[in-house]
Amino acid sequence: MALRSTDILTQTPQGLYCPLGDFHVDPVRPVKRALITHGHSDHARSGHRSVLATRETLLIMAVRYGADFAGATQEAPLGESLRVGDVTVRFTPAGHVLGSAQIAIEAGGTRVVVSGDYKRAEDPTCLPYEVVPCDVFITEATFGLPVFRHPDTRAEVRKLLDSVALFPERAHIVGAYALGKAQRVMALLREEGYDRPIYLHGAMERLTEFYKSEGIPLGETPKVVASERAKLAGAIVICPPSSIQDLWSRRFPDPVTCFASGWMRVRARARQKGVELPLVISDHSDWDDLCRTIRETGAGEVWVTHGQEDALVHWCTTHGIRARPLHMLGYGDEGEAEEAPAAGTEAGDAA
């Protein structure tokens, strides 16, 4: 008899937990044994006793937190089944960022897939998503509203290049998440034939070097020297989203504020951030791809971890798929997570 899905995976304050294998997936607090889907800081935290992840994700965690980010680490080769406690686990590409993987957990003939964050769109910097048929599919819903349909990324990058051509005396400052998005934008610019140096904010440097060392060609990417900022007319500069509005970016010649994010689809979101050139480039699935992926897994049950859960649960229900929102806290993305501390301190002022 097949096991119930909750025997394989349940929700705990630390995050999703597998009782039969005694491990957590992407826990938000330190645990004994963690399986990590990808290197973004809201999924990959330091301080676990042991971590199982893909080789790239382990290296990314070491770049971010130092080599001693966990007591012990184990590499999960893509596509290979591993025994953990009383379950079998298998890592499969998720197409989100370099090293990102979905984790299939199987026991007693029931398979649960934790997809982490994933996208179906083409990305020159990571392996494409592979559909893993399963009984229970655990999905994010960052862009889980039908207003989110990500356009062709090439057209978005051409928008940036057209603007650089039209305003050659201004610097174009592109806000992009330091892991994945930044390197994807660079790779897309190269694919469109842009061969001038792409300047980087210091916070981008180490992860970009790591991508290059993994054999992803990104061209010349010098770090911005503070005293040289005023000379970067006509340049493309990539920085973390939080830097596009601060003093750092104002020293450039008449900067054009750009932001590469799926949120840029909605005008009000772009204007709130003072963005002048929104680039709708996302490392998450858009609405159509979320729906398509759920269908293709053939799952009879869907759990929605975070994002716009309600709309996706509604869609599943009206399409005869059982679904429930997990309302999981601690997972944000694409710059949203970075803003949280600032918002917290301000509450004190107003009160």
Partner 1 sequence: MNRFAALLDRLGYEPRRNAKLRLLTDYFRHTPDPERGYALAAMTGALMFKEAKPGLIRGLVEERTDPELFRMSYHYVGDLAETAALIWPAPGHESVAPASDGAPAIGHNNPPPHVPTLTEVIETLATTSKSDLPARVAEWMDALDETGRWALIKLITRELRVGVSARLAKTAVAQLGEIEPDEVELIWHGLEAPYENLFAWVEGRGEKPESGNPAPFRPSMLSHPLEDEDFEKLEASEFLAEWKWDGIRLQAAAGHGSDGRPVKRIYSRTGEDVSRAFPDLVEALDFEGAIDGELLIVREGRVQSFNVLQQRLNRKAVTPKLIAEFPAHLRVYDILFEGEEDLRSLPFAERRKRLEALVARIGDPRIDLSPMVPFSTWEELAAARADPASVGAGPDADAIEGCMVKRANSPYLPGRPKGYWYKWKRDPYLVDAVMMYGQRGHGKRSSFYSDYTFGVWRDGPNGEELVPVGKAYHGFTDEELAKLDRYVRNHTVNRFGPVREVEYGKDRGLVLEVAFEGLQRSTRHKSGVAMRFPRISRIRWDKPAAEADRIETLEKILERGEKEVYPLQDKAAKRQKG
Q: How far is the CB of 205 from partner 1 (least distance, A)?
A: 29
**Contact string 35-74 vs partner 1 (x = CB under 8 A):** ----------------------------------------
Chosen residue from 9, 178, 224, 277 binding partner 1 by CB under 8 A: 277
CA atoms within 13 A on the CB side of 130: 14
Q: Is the dihedral of CA 316, 318, 324, 327 positive or negative?
A: positive
| 132 is an interface residue for partner 1 by CB under 8 A | no
Residue 151 binds to partner 1 (criterion: CB under 8 A): yes
Under rule CB under 8 A, which residues in 313-332 are in contact with partner 1? 314-315, 318-319
Q: Residue 213: name the closest of 125, 97, 282 by CA.
A: 125
Tell me the window of 51-59, 67-75, 107-115, 269-277 that interacts with partner 1 (CB under 8 A).
Answer: 269-277
* DSSP classification of residue 294: H
Of the candidate residues 14, 183, 243, 308, the single one contacting partner 1 (CB under 8 A): 308
Tell me which DSSP letter residue 4 carries.
Answer: P
Q: How far is the CB of 65 from partner 1 (least distance, A)?
A: 32
What is d(CA 18, CA 52) in angstroms, rounded to the nearest whole number? 14
Nearest to 298 by CA among 325, 314, 321: 321
Nearer to partner 1, 29 or 292 (CB): 292
247 binds partner 1 (CB under 8 A): no
Is there binding between residue 251 and partner 1 (CB under 8 A)? no
* Beta carbon of residue 73, minimum distance to partner 1 (angstroms, whole number): 39
Is 269 an interacting residue with respect to partner 1 (CB under 8 A)? yes
* 349 binding partner 1? (CB under 8 A): yes
Footprint of partner 1 on 281-300 (CB under 8 A): 287-288, 291-292
Cβ density class 85-116: b for 16+ within 10 Å, e for less: eebebbbbbbbbbbbbbbbbbbbeebbbbbbb
Of positions 86, 192, 301, 310, contacts partner 1 by CB under 8 A:
310
Q: Does 250 bind partner 1 (CB under 8 A)?
A: no
Residues in Cβ contact with 23 at an 8 Å cutoff, skipping those fewer than 6 apart: 17, 31, 32, 33, 34, 35, 52, 84, 85
* 26: DSSP letter: S
Q: What are the CA-CA distances from residue 291 to residues 304, 313, 326 (Å)?
A: 12, 10, 18
Report H helices in the chain: 5-8, 55-65, 153-166, 181-191, 205-213, 247-250, 267-272, 287-297, 309-318, 336-350
- Of the residues 278, 307, 325, 335, which one makes contact with partner 1 according to CB under 8 A: 278
Residue 166 touching partner 1 (CB under 8 A): yes
* 91 neighbors 114 (Cβ within 8 angstroms): no
Which of 113, 126, 232, 275 binds partner 1 (CB under 8 A)? It is: 275
Give the torsion through C-alpha atoms of 52, 54, 57, 59, to 10 deg. 90
Quick check: 91 binds partner 1 (CB under 8 A)?
A: no
> In 222-335, which residue ranges form alpha helices assigned H by DSSP?
247-250, 267-272, 287-297, 309-318
Three-state DSSP class for 125? coil
Q: Which of 1, 226, 247, 268 binds partner 1 (CB under 8 A)?
A: 268
DSSP structure class, residue 69: S
Query: By C-beta, is 192 or 310 nearer to partner 1?
Result: 310
Q: Which is nearer to partner 1, 35 or 275 (CB)?
A: 275
Closest distance to partner 1 from the beta carbon of 161 (Å) = 13
- Return residues touching partner 1 (CB under 8 A): 145-149, 151, 159, 163, 166-167, 265-272, 275-278, 287-288, 291-292, 308, 310-311, 314-315, 318-319, 346-347, 349-351
